[in-house]
Chains A and B, each alone.
Chain A
Amino acid sequence: MTEPADLSAAELAERIRGGDEGALRVTRSCLGRIQALDPQVRAFLTVNDRAQEEAWRLDRCRGQAPPATLDGVPVAVKDNILTRDLRTTCGSRILERFAPAGDATAVERLRAAGAVILGKTNLDEFGMGSSTENSAFGATRNPWDLGRVAGGSSGGSAAAVAAGMVPLALGSDTGGSVRQPAAFCGVVGLKPTYGRVSRFGLVAYGSSLDQIGPLGRTVRDVALVLTVIEGADPADATSSPVPGRDYVAACEDGVNGMRIGLPREYLGEGLDPEIERAVLGAAGRLEQHGAGTEEVSLPHTPYAISTYYLLATAEASSNLSRFDGVRYGLRAGDTGDLESLYRTTRGMGFGAEVKRRIMLGTYALSAGYRDAFYNTAQRARSVIRRDFSQVFGSGVDLLLTATTPTVAFRLGEKLDDPLAMYLSDVYTVTSSLAGLPALSVPVGLSAEGLPIGAQLIGPPFGEDRLFRAGAVIASMFGSPRPPLLPARPAGTGSG
């Protein structure tokens, strides 16, 4: 019989609703997988010790209320998203013992839909990184090859889903932090349109870019989570009232008649040829299903990394000023006066990458440099955004690119070279700067057996199109299963 931990969220919710499965049994199955594999993978920072009790309670109360969308489905939450009374560290020493007073809106909505929060997943400190090596609590390993990174910054969420520890996880994406680890770990990851999902309770990094997004093993599961967490929230003034769609139904709509653009700046130089072939294979699949593909141009793409790293760090330098050793978190010992307390606490509490980004952002905003760096980057952001509006304005429905230029790299490979690490975000930062929705979908394995991801980018609030095309691509490649996992019994499992 298939282990509950191996099923998709949609299958689990259906079985639990139908009385064929219990939330407690499902939760125990996932906890068993965590116990067996997480000592190697290190995806979780905290496992919720109340999860079994919460699942038991859901089983006891079943039938007393209308069935919920995610009834009894275990979900992991990236550790920069607040969970009431469950430690939220942001992967930082400065918040090592921080227990939030409330849930983030996205978590509140998951719980209201019947989800069991199984635990908190590892990340690059405050979301700053592309490998999850910048966590103060150690790196997460890629379930496909424990010598490689899981990607980042939502590496713990992606690895947990890939290793079958949970069917679903929340991540956050500022410049690719859901999509890049999803691609490296062979799972599906969505960055919704800026404003689609409330950020209330997401610890801010780059506020004009941050979005919470789901990761899952199937496109349909990711669609299901978006239906639960999306929508306006009075607690987040940037959340949007633009109505959502039935994203799960969109997964069945196909791509007949759609126009798919292949941006020429994303192909060729710098892209691993194996990944290019896989992405073009996905384009062929979309064509077989009735879509048309065409080459398009986003000419200002080469400016995106510079623009992103100036704007995101400028915003980070302001957002992270709240960590001062006064209201919460770490405080340095006897420091004399208040000014020294700030400097010593922050010096002790933040890791090297966070300090580097705070300093870069502070420099870009400082007197004499603001025009040359920050203001120029804001102008570059305008032209990058204009590139996308022109392409979508010409009638193109979606863009298809690689998610990453390479497959998962080795642990430590880029740790001493921040610039090389920043360049691994080259295909994901553009849509972040433009506030657009983007989905990473597995499109096969490299010759070395490592996952490859393709990225679909849509116009604002065009998530339904991403799911239409994503489901078609996924029907070709399915949900790859890392060798770390026990083999599935023949004829079972989810697609």
Chain B
Amino acid sequence: VPEVECRLDPATGRLELHIKGIVGPACDDVAAVVREVLGRPALEQQTADYAVRPRARVAPRVRARRP
């Protein structure tokens, strides 16, 4: 399940967000919404599975029967 994990430390006011469950650059769309609401972050890092490409689902081939 895609999620944004927000960790807020009231002692410092520091807020960290992890965008999880979205492989590949698709999470840029979510990051754009985050930036729209929260502004430009002090730090933004892509993590290991950012480079993972979502697997394309191949539709099963259907053979037409000859009449």
Partners in one complex: no
